[in-house]
Chains A and B, each alone.
Chain A
Amino acid sequence: HITLKESGPALVKPTQTLTLTCTFSDFSLSTYGVGVGWIRQPPGKALEWLALIYWNDEKRYNTSLQSRLTITKDTSKNQVVLSLTNVGPVDTATYYCGHRPGDLDYFDFWGQGALVTVSS
């Protein structure tokens, strides 16, 4: 069945760039309509959508973070990479990636999450 797993640094210094990788299996990001999204959750707080990339390489970004975010995919490696520049303490959160089924507007499978702490 579909699985996703986030990987990246657990600790990042302020002003640095955070790069996270979502490695997935049992689906292809070249299949019509499929998307992979990134969602984060600060400790004890709500879910916040960050970015989404589709099978056809179309991308969507949270407008409040758009200038700092980049999402890319490597279909051959079954990976999606998220970069967040100029991080600060407010970016401390658990970062999740999720699978969006083709033409459906929810995430049916999620990764386990990666906790990222921004601190000097």
Chain B
Amino acid sequence: SHVLTQPPSVSVAPGQTATVACGGRSLGIETVHWYQQKPGQAPVLVVYADKYRPYGIPERFSGSNSGNTATLIIYGVEAGDEAGYFCQVWDKSGDHPVFGGGTKLTVL
């Protein structure tokens, strides 16, 4: 079964690029999705299938996935990006989602 590891926190200055890592064995052969969760709100899908954005998500959000690490990339970080970010893959053998532990992004 998959185990996804995320750093508890990441800090970045406004206007800079934020990267949030998600580690897992051979993660590069899986499809990774990312959710943003602001305090008191439900998660929102911001990147699916490693690097694609759902409708309505700013172009500043992107992603990559290779080797044992998937990365959420946020270009030109804004104060409104301050939130928790969770990665997710699908366990095909058990047919269920697996979530990472989450990373809190702080905008300095």
What 0/1 pattern do residues 70 to 102 of B give for CB contact below 8 A with A? 000000000000000010111000111111111
Interface of B is mostly: strand
* Tally of contact residues, B, Cβ under 8 A: 23
Indicate if the CB atoms of B96 and A47 lie closer than 8 Å.
no
Docked CA distance A105–B95 (Å): 9
Is residue A48 within 8 Å, beta carbon to beta carbon, of the partner chain?
yes
Minimum Cβ distance to chain B for residue A47 (Å): 4
Indicate if the CB atoms of A49 and B102 lie closer than 8 Å.
no
Indicate if the CB atoms of B43 and A49 lie closer than 8 Å.
no
Is residue A112 within 8 Å, beta carbon to beta carbon, of the partner chain?
yes
Interface of A is mostly: loop
A104 / chain B contacts, CB cutoff of 8 Å: 48
What 0/1 pattern do residues 25 to 43 of A give for CB contact below 8 A with B? 0000000000001010000
Indicate if the CB atoms of B54 and A108 lie closer than 8 Å.
yes
B13 / chain A contacts, CB cutoff of 8 Å: none
Indicate if the CB atoms of A47 and B86 lie closer than 8 Å.
yes
Indicate if the CB atoms of B97 and A106 lie closer than 8 Å.
yes
Query: When A96-B43, A108-B45 are in contact, do A49 and B99 touch as well, CB less than 8 Å?
Result: yes
Is residue B29 within 8 Å, beta carbon to beta carbon, of the partner chain?
no
Indicate if the CB atoms of B97 and A46 lie closer than 8 Å.
no
Indicate if the CB atoms of B42 and A48 lie closer than 8 Å.
no
**Most B Cβ at <10 Å: residue of A63, A105, A108, A110:** A105
Q: Which residues of B contact A (CB under 8 A)?
A: 31, 33, 35, 41-45, 48, 54, 86, 88-90, 94-102
24 contacts between A and B (CB under 8 A): A37-B97, A39-B97, A39-B99, A46-B99, A46-B102, A47-B35, A47-B88, A47-B99, A49-B96, A49-B97, A49-B98, A52-B96, A60-B96, A63-B94, A105-B90, A105-B97, A106-B45, A106-B48, A106-B97, A107-B43, A107-B97, A108-B45, A108-B48, A110-B43
